Amino acid sequence: MIGGGDWAADRIIPDCIRAIESNEAIELRNPKATRPWQHVLEPLSGYLLLAAQLYHEPFKYQGSWNFGPFSSEVRTVEEVASSIIEHLGRGQIVIAKSSQAQHEAQLLQLNCDKANQLLGWYPRWQVDQTLKATALWYKTVLEGGDAETITRSQINDYFGERKNMIEGVIIAPLRQIFDERGKVMHMLREDSEIFSRFGEIYFSCTHPGAIKAWHLHKKMTLNYAVLHGEIKFVLYDDRPGSKTRNCVEEIFLSPENYCLVTVPPLIWNGFKGIGQKSSIVANLATLPHDPDEIERRPPTDSSIPYDWQIKHR
């Protein structure tokens, strides 16, 4: 568990910060040991979700729970310390001699299948984003910034205040219900506040690397969810009078980030298949398809300031 504000002894991030501030080397006992690194906001989000379910169905959701990162997100202690050094811009690592090393487990992981399957809970931040946010918190505070301000900012970032959020676009987390037979993926109900009317529902299958863009609907509202695979969904707002005019927004959608994205009329949008497998995108539209109601532009149209190539941030 890592995150800004932790100053406890014998913990890797606080130890790194103290060593850097003292102009001392960061000493690692077991540099190759791995841990299920996650930001403190990850399990907190799980606890809040669990508490809400316990309130309604206490017997169904009783028992022990794990909230942890994906197994692919493990990093060694040395990689974590190196990342902190990189983000702070200073520091160095030394490896303790073997005679000094204490016995520690080399590999620790959490099984979070129960939280995934019964609560539909998944981590929101990848480990690189977690390390960057953690380092930024300490860097800000050590340089005289306000701890409460940076903490509130990171809470808002984590719980969904999106940068470049386009006016009228709604992103709502969706639930998946798992059991030994498979799963049920919720999408949209008639009694939802998001639902307005039914026009048609269709499924767009997209191969990795394929781009389906750009299109704009004059009257139709779109409700997108990704059932399989992963897409990069991009929106561009050129509506006269919109508070977010000329804004571009990227949203990455998959069963692991299972959300409903509601797009009102007059917003350019499109998506690209990413990852290693084809994606299936469901769209519940408020009107039946009408070729006269839609406008199209090619993916490389210069009037939309967006490049579909991979961004190496």
Q: At what angle do helices 147-158 and 41-56 cross, to 10 degrees?
A: 60
Q: What is the pLDDT of residue 69?
A: 83
Q: CA 168, CA 68: separation in Å to the nearest integer?
A: 33
Q: What is the pLDDT of residue 108?
A: 62
Side-chain-facing half-sphere of 256: CA atoms under 13 Å: 13
Parse the chain into domains and list their residue ranges: 12-158, 170-296
Q: What is the pLDDT of residue 36?
A: 83
**Which CATH code for domain 170-296?**
2.60.120.10
134 touches 37 (CB < 8 A): no
- Three-state DSSP at 8 gives coil
Q: CA 248, CA 238: separation in Å to the nearest integer?
A: 9
Helix, strand, coil percentages (3-state) for the chain, rounded to 5, are 25, 25, 50
Residue 223's nearest CA partner among 195, 251, 242 is 195
Q: CA 188, CA 227: separation in Å to the nearest integer?
A: 13
Amino acid at 244: T
Domain 12-158 has CATH 3.20.20.140: no
Q: Are strands 26-28 and 93-95 parallel, antiparallel or unpaired?
A: parallel
Q: pTM above the 0.75 mark?
A: no
Q: What is the pLDDT of residue 162?
A: 56
Q: Which tokens in the block code for residue 101?
A: 């090393």
DSSP assignment of 124-139 equals -S-HHHHHHHHHHHHH
Per-residue CA distances from 261 to 20, 93, 100, 292, 306 (Å): 43, 44, 53, 24, 20
Q: What is the pLDDT of residue 82?
A: 95
Partnered with residue 225 across adjacent β-strands are 282
Q: Is 244 left (phi over 0), alpha (psi -120 to 50) or beta?
A: alpha
pLDDT digits (tens, 9 = 90+) for 84-113: 999 999 999 999 876 454 555 555 667 888
Contacts of 160 (CB under 8 A, 6+ apart): 171
Q: Which residue has the tokens 């109900």?
A: 189
Q: What is the pLDDT of residue 128?
A: 86
Partnered with residue 93 across adjacent β-strands are 26
Q: What is the pLDDT of residue 277?
A: 94
246 touches 166 (CB < 8 A): no
Q: What is the pLDDT of residue 98?
A: 65
Q: What is the pLDDT of residue 172?
A: 80
Per-residue CA distances from 48 to 43, 70, 192 (Å): 9, 20, 22
- The parts of the chain modelled with pLDDT lower than 50 are 99, 101
